[in-house]
Structure 1
Amino acid sequence: MTSSPAVTAPAERVRPLELFFDLVFVFTITQVAGVLTAAPTVDGLGRTVALLAIIWWMYGGYAWLTNALDLARPGPRLLLLTGMAAYFVMSLAVPRFFDEGPFGLILGLAYLAVVLVHTAGFIGTSGHRGISRLGPLNIVSALIVVAAGIVPPQARTWVLLGAVALEALSPVIAGIGGFAIGAGHFVERHGLALIILLGESIIAVGTVASELGDVLRVVVGSVLALVVSAGVWWVYFEREERDSERLLDAMPPQRRGRAALLSFGYAYLAMITGVTMAAVGMKKAVTYFTTPLHDFELWLLPLGLALYLAGLAAFHRALAPVWEWTRLVAAVAVLLCVPAGLLAGGWLMLLVAGLVLAGVVVVSRTPGLNET
């Protein structure tokens, strides 16, 4: 007779090792942002989105995994550290993934290792039945990423998008039953990733301002960028994070998995992508602080904030039966940054963005004005 796997209850709060893992994840995101900074074009954005999508998919996978792992034991700890090492190698290969040379294959193999560790981690947990269906599709998508690292650089974005499409469709193909979710842990884990990413964006803007050495950029530019980052933080952490835990916890277990996938998976990807684009856009706004912006650099900040706000609206809708129209209206209003950047430069772009986000905060704190 064989014994059944030792199933643990879902974790309710984030453990220190998970926060350590998140630091490596956010470093990977900043490496991806570097791809867009180096090539602020439509093609550069396509590369960035493709990389962010596969990276976020497995970050989400590890959030589901650690929700089921007992990290008090050495075995699960070593497993998570192994996945973290693979993530770190992958991050180091990101800046050269689209160049000739070995780094494309290195990223692909590191990503495959991330996926294999993730799949193996569910053995003996409450999610072992769920991963038996979803894991093979994750491995196939990782093999596509490996193939992307082998094909000529000009074709890599398109191959990566094939992996993205398979990952996005895999819950539809395999289903998401069999995974237990601790609402408190799940919400806190994703919120920590977002706040660390916002912190990294502030550091990046401050570094650019300091390197330029202009007092106006260092003081005024950095403060305006901080106001924008604070607005991004406020519209989520003022109420959305707390409400999402309450709403997710109140759902029947059979609905919770789908709601978590739609909100913390797909909608959160839009939010993370938006924050990454906005961070690069803020760096460009500080660089061209008193000079009009042109080309695609002009669009990075407004499109990033618009994507973040639209993603936040979709996030709320996935958990509650209402739309928060304030976010959708603001996603359109923030496009006023475009004429501001054309007319006066980065300082006016940052000011307009800060005012729009401040308006969202004020309206969101007024009962009855933002939901329908």
Structure 2
Amino acid sequence: MIATEGGHRVTPAELFFDLVFVYAITQVTALMAADPSALRLLGGAVVLALLWWCWCCFAWLGNVVRADSGAMFAVLVAVMAVVMVVSLTVPEVYHDLPGGLYAPLVFVLCYGAVRILHLVSYWISSPGDEALHATLRRTALLSVGPPFVLLLVGSAFTGVTQVLIWFGAVVIDYGGIYLTGSSGWRVNSPGHFAERHGLIVIIALGESIVAIGVGVSALPISTPVLAGTAAGLLVVAGLWRLYFRQISEGAEHRLTALEGDERTRFARDAYTFLHLPLVGGIVLTALGMKKVLHQVADSRHYDLSEPLHGLVAWALSGGVGLFLLASAAILLRSGGRRSLVLIIGGLACMAAGALVVLLPALLALALLAAAVTSMVVLHSRRAVAAGPGTQ
């Protein structure tokens, strides 16, 4: 395996690797859309957190070892194959269909294989790095072994029990990373690390656009459908603008300015941990937009005056709210800057579900698009005016 240098950038091999996660995120949205209950949304969040961990493992590894080297590329292809199997099982992970392999168990075994491949590859990539090897051993004992056992146990159950056991496994897995500390992990190229996470945000935003199209598939195109599509794209464009013009650049600059374990801790906090709710917010918004476009297009079963119902209504605006709050947290971690626009806007969007259930679905989406656009413009102006202080 070939080590990376400070100016290392994302390789085509890593872009190829990300393709399988396009499908994986789409499957998570489909999993929640099939039964948009509180339990299913929590279950979808658990699956997304596990998939996110699979992706993050190799984003970190690709920062210290070139992904397009022969041995590393072979590992990536193997991981792609395993994650593809994981993605195929997602729709059945909480409700196994008869006549085939037991999907929850297949999901858990493949997830475990990804984590093992990551640890082994990291170990081989740095044969003389004792600090890294000690961290890898602690990671295997605290953040891989116990959660994997819980996932195996949970796969034997269904319903609330399965979801809660798997949720506990995720908490232990993520908490174990804090307990293992930052010593031994490396971020050789800040530019590469930031670019990798920007690409996964692009993938999530792209999935939200796909969700709009899926919502109207096999249904006639109408003027309300075109209006809903335009509003949905405006929401996605606003989130893109906020992240890539007002969030990611500051985070990358902060990452570049730090060294050693401080850089590692910042990468862990701002990227590995805080980008998860940011991506999760996009997935929830995609779920809401998919349902809006389906109702607008299906005029035989829905009237244009009908609102979204249940948790889907909260997902539409709440997903944006989660994205805004995660963005505010990244800004705060990047340099102590508090964005009142993002914090207040995020909390308002989280609470706006109470209004969404009362408004026609198309109108709710249009108002959300207007709100996102307004917040992006206002945040940008306040950021320029306030400089490094409170925005």
Counterpart amino acid of residue 167 in structure 1: D
Q: Deviations over 1:116-145 (max 9, x none)?
A: 111111023355443232233343123322
Q: Is the 8 A contact 1:274 1:307 kept in 2?
A: yes
Distance 1:345 1:211 in 2: 22
| AA matched with 1:115 | R
Aligned residues: 368
User: CA separation in 2, counterparts of 1:29 and 1:23?
Assistant: 10
> How many percent of aligned residue pairs carry the same amino acid?
30
SS in 2 for 1:180: coil
C-alpha change, 1:361 and 1:171, in structure 2 (3 Å) is same
DSSP-derived class of the 1:261 partner: helix
Letter matched to residue 179 of structure 1: W
Letter in 1 for 2:244: F
Instruction: Tell me the residue number matched to 1:196.
Output: 203
Q: Please tell me whether residue 167 in structure 1 is matched to residue 182 in structure 2.
A: no
- 1:180 matched to which residue of 2? 186
CA distance in 2, matches of 1:308, 1:168: 20
**DSSP 3-state at the match of 2:124:** coil
Q: 1:15 to 1:82 in 2, by over 3 A?
A: same
Unaligned runs of 5+ in 1: none
Instruction: Verify the 8 A CA contact 2:307 2:360 in the aligned structure 1.
Output: yes
The 8 Å contact of residues 89 and 103 in structure 2, kept in 1 or not, is answered as yes
CA contact (8 A) 1:112 1:143 kept: no
Residue 82 of structure 2 aligns with an amino acid whose one-letter code is A
Q: Report what 1:252 is aligned to.
A: 259
Q: How does 1:298-313 map to 2 (within 5 A)?
A: 298-313=313-328
Question: Which of 343, 347, 357 in structure 2 is aligned with 1:342?
Answer: 357
- Given residue 103 of structure 1, which amino acid in structure 2 is its aligned partner? A
* Cα offset, 1:54, TM superposition: 1.6
Q: Deviations over 1:159-196 (max 9, x none)?
A: 11121111121122211211111211111001101112
2:339 paired residue number? 324
Q: Corresponding residue for 1:364?
A: 379
How far apart, CA to CA, are the structure 2 residues paired with 1:11 and 1:122? 20
User: Residues 38-64 of structure 1: CA distance to partner in whole angstroms, max 9, x if unpaired?
Assistant: 111111111011111122122111111
Q: Which residue of 2 aligns with 1:236?
A: 243
1:305 and 1:320 map into 2 onto residues whose CA distance is 23
Q: CA contact under 8 A between 1:275 and 1:304: conserved in structure 2?
A: yes
Partner of 2:369: 354
Q: Answer yes or no: is 1:132 the counterpart of 2:137.
A: yes
C-alpha contact (below 8 Å) 1:202/1:229 kept by paired residues: yes
Given candidates 15, 19, 22, the residue that maps to 1:23 is 19
Q: 1:11 to 1:22 in 2, by over 3 A?
A: farther
Is the CA contact 1:333–1:356 (under 8 Å) kept in the aligned structure 2? Answer: no
Determine if contact 1:209/1:217 at 8 Å carries over to the other structure: no
Q: Residue 143 of structure 1 corresponds to which residue in structure 2?
A: 149
Structure 1: which amino acid aligns with 2:346? A
Shift of 1:30: 1.3
Q: Provide structure 2 residue ranges, at least 5 long, that are not aligned to the other structure.
A: 127-131, 297-303
1:278 pairs, out of 285, 302, 320, with 285
Give the drift of 1:271: 0.6
- Greater displacement, 6-15 / 17-26: 6-15
Partner of 2:228: 221
CA distance in 2, matches of 1:37, 1:11: 42
1:336 Cα deviation after fit = 6.9
Counterpart among 10, 18, 22 of residue 14 in structure 1? 10
Q: Is the 8 A contact 1:298 1:341 kept in 2?
A: yes
Deviation of 1:338 (Å): 3.2
Q: Does the 8 Å contact 2:142/2:173 carry over to 1?
A: yes
Residues 285-319 of structure 1 show CA distances to partners (whole Å, capped at 9, x for unaligned) of: 22334212222221111111111111111111122
Give the structure-2-normalised TM-score. Answer: 0.88
Distance 1:96 1:360 in 2: 38
Q: Scaled by the length of structure 1, what TM-score is found?
A: 0.93
* AA of the residue aligned to 1:156: Q
Structure 2 Cα separation of the partners of residues 118 and 160 of structure 1 = 21
Which of 265, 271, 276 is the equivalent residue of 1:269? 276
CA contact (8 A) 2:75 2:117 kept: yes
Indicate if the aligned counterparts of 1:270 and 1:308 stay in contact, CA closer than 8 A.
yes
Conserved in 2, the CA contact under 8 Å of 1:337 and 1:352? Answer: no
The 1:338–1:125 alpha-carbon spacing in structure 2 relative to 1, beyond 3 Å, is: same
Aligned partners of 2:220 and 2:342: how far apart in 1? 36
The CA distance in 1 between the partners of 2:354 and 2:50, in whole Å, is 34
Q: Which amino acid is the alignment partner of residue 160 of structure 1?
A: W
Q: Spell out the pairing of 1:99-138 with structure 2 (5 A cutoff).
A: 99-100=95-96, 102-126=102-126, 127-138=132-143
Tell me which amino acid in the other structure corresponds to 2:273.
Y
Q: CA RMSD in A?
A: 2.1
Alpha-carbon distance change, 60 to 71 in structure 1, aligned in 2, over 3 angstroms? closer
The answer (yes or no) to whether the contact 2:318–2:352 under 8 Å persists in 1 is no
CA distance in 2, matches of 1:129, 1:72: 27
- Give the conservation status (yes or no) of the 8 Å contact 1:285–1:350: yes
Q: CA deviation at 1:342?
A: 3.4
